[in-house]
Amino acid sequence: MNSIVDQSNKQPFVNIVILEPDMELRTQFIRRYSHMRQGIKVCFCASIVAEFLSRYQPGEADLLILSIYNHGINGIEILEEIRNGDNDVKILATSEWYQPWLVNHLTQMGVEGYCQNTVDEMIRAVESLERKCHYYWDGDQDKKKSSNKAQKISQLSTMEIKIIELTSKGLKNKEIAAELSISKRTVDTYIGRILLKLGLKRKSRLLDVASKLGLHKKND
C-alpha cells in the first residue's frame, strides 16, 4: 500500500458523509469506526447520487466516503464537483475492483484516499487519513483475487454483458426488457444468474463490472 508518511498526531474525523449503495457495508463500517472513535457524527448516508447531491453541503463534513461507481453515474465527475466546491473535506474513494489508472487521476484531483470497498480496507484507509497520510490502493495484494474475478467475467454470455451494459446506463429491469424485446421476468432471471456467476450480492455492484468491461457510461 502506498502511503505518504507523516509524523503528525492522529486526528479522528468527527463529521462523516457516506455515499455507498450497500447498506450492510456502510452500517458495518459505521459500527466499527464508532466503536474505535468516540464522538463521531454521521451527517447522513446516501444510497444514490441524486439523494447525495440534494443533501450535501460544503463544509458540513470533514470526511466523505464515496463509491466511485454508483447507479449509472460516474463518481469521478461527482468527486470533481465536490472538490471544486469544498477543498477542506478529506475524500476516500472506494471501488469493487482495483483500477490502476484511478490512482494518478484521483491524486491529481486532490483525493486523499482510494481503497477497496470492504470494511477492513475502509478502516485502514481512514486510519491513514487520520494521520494525515494519503492511502492509495496498489492492488498487488489482490492480484489473485482480481484474476479470479476476471476469469468469472470472461464466462459471461453476450446477452449477460448486454444486460450489464444497460444496467450501467441506469435502466431498470422493465426498461431493459423493452430494449431487448424480452420479458421482465427473463431479465430478472439473467440478473440473478449474473450476480451468482460473479459472486455479487447486489445489482449495484454491476457498475464496477461494466467499468471493467469498458461499458460504463454516464447517463445522457
Find the mean pLDDT for residues 161-166. 89
Tell whether 219 is covered by a domain. no
Considering the domain architecture, whether residues 26 and 85 belong to the same structural domain is answered as yes
For residue 217, being part of any structural domain is answered with no
Residues 166, 81 share a domain: no
Q: Work out whether strand 2-3 and strand 135-136 pair parallel, antiparallel, or are unpaired.
A: antiparallel
Q: Do residue 42 and residue 65 come from a single domain? A: yes
Given a cut of 60, is residue 177 above it in pLDDT? Answer: yes
125 with 200, same domain: the answer is no
Which of the listed residues 121, 138, 155 is the one where a domain comes to its end?
A: 138
My answer on whether 39 and 119 are in the same domain is yes
- 104 is written with which cell numbers? 494518478
- Rounded-to-integer distance, Cα 53 and Cα 79, Å: 11
> Could you tell me if 132 and 153 lie in one domain?
no
CATH number at 32 reads 3.40.50.2300
**Contact at 8 Å (CB) between 159 and 190?**
yes
User: How many other CB atoms are found less than 10 A from the CB of residue 59?
Assistant: 11
Query: Residue 53 pLDDT more than 80?
Result: yes
Question: Quick one: cell of 150?
Answer: 476476471
pLDDT band of residue 187 (cuts 50, 70, 90) is very high
pLDDT mean over 70-82: 73
Phi then psi for residue 128, to 5 deg, are -65, -45
Q: Which segment of 17-26, 72-81, 122-131 scores lowest on mean pLDDT? A: 72-81
Percentage with pLDDT > 70 across the chain: 82
Same domain? 98 vs 182: no
Kindly state the cell numbers that stand for 15: 463529521
What values do phi and psi take at 84, rounded to 5?
-65, -30
Same domain, 10 and 90: yes
Q: 218 lies in a domain?
A: no
Mean model confidence pLDDT for the chain: 81
Whether residues 134 and 150 fall in one domain = no
Host domain of residue 187: 145-212
Out of 116, 138, 160, a domain closes at 138
30 and 83 part of one domain: yes
Is 153 a domain residue?
Answer: yes
Residue 3 pLDDT > 50: no
Amino acid at 195: L
Of 16, 26, 3, which Cα lies nearest the Cα of 117? 26
Here the CATH number for the domain that contains residue 184 is: 1.10.10.10
| Final residue belonging to a domain, choices 103, 138, 173 | 138
Residue 121 resides in a domain = yes
Q: How is the chain classified by DSSP, letter by letter?
A: -EE----PPP----EEEEE-S-HHHHHHHHHHHHHHSTT-EEEEEESSHHHHHHH--TTS-SEEEEESEETTEEHHHHHHHHHHH-SSSEEEEEESS--HHHHHHHHHHT--EEEESSHHHHHHHHHHHHTT--EE---GGGHHHHHHHHHHHHT--HHHHHHHHHHHTT--HHHHHHHHTS-HHHHHHHHHHHHHHHT-S-GGGHHHHHHHTT------
pLDDT tens by residue, 123-154: 999 999 988 888 988 766 554 455 556 666 77
Amino acid 157: pLDDT: 85
| Dihedral of the alpha carbons of 173, 175, 176, 178, in degrees to the nearest 10 | 130
- Least Cα distance to 170 among 220, 136, 131 occurs for 220
Give dist(CA 78, CA 101) in Å, integer. 17
Residue 194 and residue 125 share a domain = no
In-domain check, residue 220: no
Are residues 127 and 176 both part of a single domain? no
Domain count, the chain: 2
